[in-house]
Chains A and B, each alone.
Chain A
């Protein structure tokens, strides 16, 4: 197996950022709300989990942060960027910790990512309105995070079997 050149890694990161950005945009077109704010499939997380497993933590973090900045400046607002970043960073932190324990499958890692993404956003929302009432959404968002995280995990498991890029 040949070692990938830095150029190849940078090029692949660029492709993954655009893919993740497109996923985020497509999701804004198909609202899944069910009346509860904040429920999304999180398709962009497919790219992040894939990058975590195939390229490492640094690339996964960079791709995700660049994706959020791009999407929020094109289609969102600074407030949306704040929510996205807090959810994404907490989610990635938890996923990285579970990934390094080597005890969890991609599905488990992604499930935890989904749950903590929602927890991160909920904490920022609670801080913004300075109330704990908002934690009423916690059980719903927890279960929603589990379901979407598991779906994303299954997708990544299948994708990484088909895509055999060695980086």
Chain B
């Protein structure tokens, strides 16, 4: 009985409620499709931004370790075309737990240290394509 009343209450939403819910969902889906499309574009570079300024652009193809020491300390590793934040001295550690990124438009953000590492489109892959 109690479960039924909960369901009925949820269904007692007004037309305006449902319209609002549908528009929220549509906005979410459109955004999601946009992100999927953006991810499918070719990627070749890794861009590192600190406090909104670009501090370095690296090739996704070359393995390397990048040490950052600005607002806080972060270490980024590029290996086998994948980027991972391996160390950060921030309190929440969301960026270190973030999975590795490799597709265009993906990014790892360390909010407390204001570090954004993102994969962007680049010339490298196209050049490889030509030489091959």
Contacts and interface: CB of A to CB of B under 8 A. Distances in A.
Contact of A104 (B17, B29, B98, B107): B17
A103 interface: yes
Interface in B100-132: 105-107, 109, 111-112, 114-116, 118
Contact of B9 (A37, A104, A131, A158): A158
Interface in A105-157: 105, 107-108, 111-112, 115, 125, 128-131, 133-136, 138-139, 142-143, 146, 150, 154, 157
A101 B9 CA distance: 20
A154 B116 contact: no
B9 A146 contact: no
B51 interface: yes
Q: Bin chain B's interface residue count.
A: 35 or more
Interface of B: 6, 9-10, 12-17, 20-21, 24-25, 27-29, 31-32, 35, 49, 51-52, 92, 94, 97-98, 105-107, 109, 111-112, 114-116, 118
21 contacts: A35-B98, A79-B112, A103-B15, A104-B17, A105-B17, A107-B9, A108-B17, A108-B21, A112-B20, A129-B111, A129-B115, A130-B52, A131-B118, A133-B107, A133-B116, A134-B116, A136-B106, A139-B31, A142-B28, A150-B10, A154-B6
